[in-house]
Chain A
Amino acid sequence: MRRTAVIGRPNAGKTAFTISFATYLGFQSLRFVKQTVEGEAVELELSQEAAAASLVSPTPHKTTSIQALELECAVGKGKRQFELLDTCGLVEGIHPERNIRLAMAQSLQLIKDADLVLHVIDAAAVGRNQDSFGVLEEELASWGEARGNYLLLANKMDLPAARAGLAAIQSFFSALPVIATSARTGQGFKEVKKYVLRIL
């Protein structure tokens, strides 16, 4: 099955995006398969509301394992199946917690192996602080340019500061495609779906 990885810094809205994108594709109940850093696979089935309530949090590094969702999409007369993998947020430097280090290594592996990478960026945070891009973004950008199939999502577009952030993201990642999204309002999901289906 083709795999799409959702990556980004902590609190960019990766999990919220994953959940509402699945909902947008018409899934009422979400069957997550958690691949923990210890190598176990834990299944949990949640409704959209329950998933949003239990998996999304304003504290960074809520997600510390890969959370995989099997999704399918109607294409013409057939269906296209793919896996959407929510990952642990990436930060620069060496994280003191071993668990998070292991989870970030998982994310890294996926950035290399996935068929498509969706890099989620908190556009509102970027809009508030124009200098929020660091080495991590630079390396990801050149990695993305080299590998291809790398899409940036300027997320949280429902917030007022996000507009300025979007412009900053577009100019920083000038060689990569950017779509403005909002996990809350569903903005940009149509374009993301189109892009995902074109590649997978």
Chain B
Amino acid sequence: MEELLAKVKRGELGVEEALGQLNRKDQTPTLALQQAKARLNSLVGLENVKKLVEELEAFIVIQKRRQQVALATEPLVLHMIFSGSPGTGKTTVARILGELFRQLGVLPKGHLVEVERADLVGEYIGHTAQKTREQIRRALGGILFIDEAYSLARGGEKDFGKEAIDTLVKAMEDHKDQLLLILAGYETEMEGFLSTNPGLRSRFPIQIKFPDYTIMQLEAIAEKMLSEREYKLSKDGRAALRRQLVAASLSGELACGNARLVRNLIERAIRKQAVRLMQTGSSSREELMLITAGDLGGGEGF
């Protein structure tokens, strides 16, 4: 700090440059980077995502080193497509990627702006470009995450969704170094969307599939959610959880909820446990933590 101040005083450094150096120094990037990676690696499943992130990190670091020794570098185009059912971790991964890319120096801020069709498409001519640009501006320096992106292409020729797409494509060019775009949605719809807009696919070099979780993985997720909240499952509770997951999987509910469904299940069980404890009046430490089969079962749907 003293050194920076002395440089400012001597007129070797502008105030904004001194602040910039302070900003960079204070972030202690390696630690924050490791934390972000640890967060990613603690997610259940998603092995392909973890592997891809490893690759990207290596690529970015090496490109930077090449740049330092004045070798030709590949431009970093990191726009992505996330396809998968709801609750498969798309938003969670996007948020972690934002942090990761900030630490790697790819994005200045790394925040996530989540939008959907209604945030981008306007009601009259000219309104759409304005609305879309507004969202792009909010996302500058970070990630613009468009959920159910294919809905922009619905509604035919006269729909304003097309205008939103055009504006987005232009922004991808204009703010190359400041904006990362992620299009997300169901796999089949995403495929259809990309095949009707061939120009788009080439602009999104990274495509990640988020498969539905298996029942085992969902159990692991449930255990993780519970231990984060300092609860645990009793033995019969674990069996009840599995029964519920199997039932949901058979009825097709699981595929449209995945981890979100598990979260709802867990949260309801926690409420039911509270009611049970109020009625029995017991509150030992062990009791306060334990979720039993009774807490999990007997609900009418999710």
B19, A143: Cβ atoms closer than 8 Å: yes
A61 located at the interface, meaning its Cβ lies under 8 Å from any Cβ of chain B in the complex: no
B15, A136: Cβ atoms closer than 8 Å: yes
B9, A101: Cβ atoms closer than 8 Å: yes
CB distance from B130 to the nearest CB of A (A): 14
B16, A101: Cβ atoms closer than 8 Å: no
A139 located at the interface, meaning its Cβ lies under 8 Å from any Cβ of chain B in the complex: yes
B12, A174: Cβ atoms closer than 8 Å: no
CB-nearest residue of chain A relative to B4?
A: A108
A91, B9: Cβ atoms closer than 8 Å: no
A33 located at the interface, meaning its Cβ lies under 8 Å from any Cβ of chain B in the complex: no
Please pick, from B6, B23, B27, B138, the residue contacting A171 in the complex, using a CB distance under 8 A.
B138
CB-nearest residue of chain B relative to A172?
A: B137
B16, A134: Cβ atoms closer than 8 Å: yes
Number of A-B contacts (CB under 8 A): 64
B14 located at the interface, meaning its Cβ lies under 8 Å from any Cβ of chain A in the complex: yes
Contact with B along A73-117 (1 / 0, CB 8 A): 000000000000000001111111010011011011101100000
B125 located at the interface, meaning its Cβ lies under 8 Å from any Cβ of chain A in the complex: no
- Chain B: how many interface residues by the 8 Å CB criterion? 25
A142 located at the interface, meaning its Cβ lies under 8 Å from any Cβ of chain B in the complex: yes
B13 located at the interface, meaning its Cβ lies under 8 Å from any Cβ of chain A in the complex: yes
Give the chain B neighbours of A93 by CB distance below 8 A: 14, 16
B23, A142: Cβ atoms closer than 8 Å: yes
A108, B16: Cβ atoms closer than 8 Å: no
Given A102-B9, A108-B8, A146-B23, the answer on whether A91 and B138 have CB atoms closer than 8 Å is no
> For the complex, what is the distance from the CA of A108 to the CA of B13, rounded to whole Å?
12
CB distance from A141 to the nearest CB of B (A): 9
A92, B14: Cβ atoms closer than 8 Å: yes
CB distance from B220 to the nearest CB of A (A): 34
B26, A146: Cβ atoms closer than 8 Å: yes
B76 located at the interface, meaning its Cβ lies under 8 Å from any Cβ of chain A in the complex: no
22 pairs of residues in contact across A and B, judged by CB atoms under 8 Å: A91-B15, A94-B13, A94-B14, A101-B9, A104-B8, A105-B5, A105-B8, A107-B15, A108-B5, A108-B8, A108-B19, A112-B1, A135-B20, A136-B19, A139-B16, A139-B20, A142-B109, A146-B23, A146-B27, A171-B137, A174-B138, A175-B111
Chain A interface (Cβ < 8 Å from any Cβ of B): 90-96, 98, 101-102, 104-105, 107-109, 111-112, 134-136, 139-140, 142-143, 146, 171, 174-175
Q: A94-B12, A108-B19 are in contact. List 15 more A-B contacts (CB 8 A).
A: A90-B16, A92-B14, A92-B16, A93-B16, A101-B11, A105-B5, A105-B15, A108-B5, A109-B5, A136-B16, A136-B19, A139-B23, A143-B19, A143-B23, A146-B26
Chain B interface (Cβ < 8 Å from any Cβ of A): 1, 4-6, 8-16, 18-20, 22-23, 26-27, 108-109, 111, 137-138
User: Closest 4 A-B residue pairs measured CB to CB?
Assistant: A139-B19, A136-B16, A105-B8, A105-B5
